[in-house]
Amino acid sequence: MLHTVNKSSFERNSLKSCLNIIDDTSVILLIEDGVISAAKNTNAPMIADLAAQGRVYALQGDVEARGISSKLADNIKLVDYAGFVDLVVEHGTAVSWV
Amino acid sequence: MTTKKFMYLNRRSSFGTVYAIESLEVVLIAAAFEQDVSLAFIDDGVYQIVEGQNADGIGMKNFSKTFHALGDYEINKLYVSAESLEQRGLSSNDLMPLVYEDEDDDWAEKPSVKVVSNAQLSKIMSEQDVCLSF
Amino acid sequence: MKISIQINEGPYQHQASDTAYQFAKAAIEKGHEIFRVFFYHDGVNNASRFTLPPQDDRNIVNQWAELGIKNADGEPELVVCIAAALRRGMLDESEASKNGIDGNNIHPAFRISGLGQLIEAGIQSDRLVVFGD
């Protein structure tokens, strides 16, 4: 499955709720304010393990728009909108943690 | 018609935003399409099915009673996150006693609400074809 | 692949409609079919033909219209939830005349219909992606 998270982990608990339920094969795509969780910050440990497994993506346009390109946490994979489409196609059911 | 597994993901309480009532609207419409329907109540979504809601004081429609109708539409898989309940000081006793009649068991009345662990929710979610989030 | 989209929020207030638009555009460019876009809750406001952003800003309604998402019969597949639309004063010609109201504001690239269209999109499409608050 593909889980999309669109809110900062400093603002809402959607990333935490997603991490509670995600299974071993699914991936997370951070979009919109969700990309704030892709930056090197005090919440970065939340996704560090998953990112090390190559299972955390962030939408490049949103990362750049928020000025955090140079501050990304380790192992975050950037995708553009075409990459977002590919993730939806490849990973089956999409779950939005809106 | 193709049968798919639809999950309705409810993470907000009943009245602060429109999502809870609109989710229920979709579920009721969906019943006519004879799909396999599950409802998940996670985070503040658990408050949607808490017993004793009274909206008289806020001038809004109390739609919580509509959940009792779901059993008649064969919508009887309501999964509630145990962790979300516990975090909010709630238990299964605080939830509405929603039931359905099981046609495969001589129409015996059975509970529709199941309190589940994160691991169980994870498995149920991974079996879905469509997930509608509200 | 057949992909459908649900949009829960209105234009300009939330990024949801912008992200959904970029996603839909990329999907079409990659050769996928956008089977239907369903506008729900405040998302119905994305269909107002009276939307007038300043010149240096994007026109979200026109962007959607320009994608030209239609079915084989040429009907728009940008579908606005009827109950959510009527609550918010979003009317097409037929609903306006039915309710004796002297104006209508749904852009012609969109059409009004019921929630069944959302379920049907879920059934008919290979994927359904939700964009919201």
Q: Which residues of C touch B38 (CB under 8 A)?
A: none
Q: How many domains does the structure of chain C reveal?
A: 1
Mutate to test the interface with B, among C39, C80, C123, C125 (most CBs of B within 10 A): C123
pLDDT of residue C85: 98
Residue B51's domain is classified under what CATH number?
A: 3.40.1260.10
Do A89 and C32 make contact, defined as CB atoms within 8 angstroms? Answer: yes
CB-based contact B87:B50 (threshold 8 Å): no
CA closest to C133 among chain A residues: A98
C40, HSE (Cβ side, Cα atoms, 13 Å) = 28
Do A88 and C3 make contact, defined as CB atoms within 8 angstroms? Answer: yes
Do A98 and B133 make contact, defined as CB atoms within 8 angstroms? Answer: yes
B to C CB pairs, distance under 8 Å: 45
**The two structure tokens encoding residue B81:** 């996150």
CB-based contact B80:B114 (threshold 8 Å): yes
**The two structure tokens encoding residue B8:** 């309705």
Q: Which residues of C touch B21 (CB under 8 A)?
A: none
pLDDT of residue A45: 96
**Which residues lie below 8 Å from residue B35, measured CB to CB, with a gap of 6+?**
B3, B4, B5, B6, C119, C122, C123
ipTM (interface predicted TM) = 0.97
| pLDDT for B52 beyond 80 | yes
**CA nearest to B102, candidates B94, B93, B112, B114:** B112
Q: Exactly one of C81, C109, C112, C121 is catalytic; which is it?
A: C81
**The two structure tokens encoding residue B72:** 């008649």
Domains and CATH numbers, chain A: 2-96 (3.40.1260.10)
Strand order in the sheet with B5-10: B113-116, B78-81, B36-41, B5-10, B130-133
Q: Which residues of A touch B131 (CB under 8 A)?
A: 93-96
| pLDDT for C88 beyond 80 | yes
Q: Which residues of A touch B83 (CB under 8 A)?
A: 20
pLDDT of residue B2: 81
Confidence of residue B60 (pLDDT cuts 50, 70, 90): very high
Mutate to test the interface with A, among C3, C13, C22, C58 (most CBs of A within 10 A): C22
Q: Which residues constitute the domain of residue C111?
A: 2-131
Mean pLDDT of chain B: 96
| Torsion of Cα atoms, B46 then B48 then B54 then B55, to 10° | 130
Q: How many domains does the structure of chain B reveal?
A: 1
Q: What is the pLDDT of residues A1-27, one digit of tens each?
A: 999 999 999 999 999 999 999 999 999
| Torsion of Cα atoms, A16 then A17 then A23 then A28, to 10° | -60
Q: What is the pLDDT of residues A44-90, one digit of tens each?
A: 999 999 999 999 999 999 999 999 999 999 999 999 999 999 999 99
Residue C91's domain is classified under what CATH number?
A: 3.40.1260.10
* Nearest-angstrom CA–CA distance, C130 and C22: 14
**Which residues lie below 8 Å from residue A91, measured CB to CB, with a gap of 6+?**
A1, A2, A26, A27
Q: Which residues of C touch A84 (CB under 8 A)?
A: 23, 26
B53: burial class by Cβ within 10 Å (0-12, 13-18, 19+)?
middle
Do B19 and C41 make contact, defined as CB atoms within 8 angstroms? Answer: yes
Q: Which residues constitute the domain of residue B44?
A: 5-133
Q: Could you confirm whether C81 is annotated as catalytic?
A: yes
* Nearest-angstrom CA–CA distance, B39 and B69: 14
List chains adjacent to chain B, taking adjacency as at least 3 C-beta pairs closer than 8 Å.
A, C
CB-based contact C23:C14 (threshold 8 Å): no
pLDDT of residue B31: 86
State whether residue B33 sits within 8 Å of chain C by CB.
yes
Mutate to test the interface with B, among A14, A15, A21, A24 (most CBs of B within 10 A): A21
Phi and psi at residue C28, to the nearest 5°: -65, -45
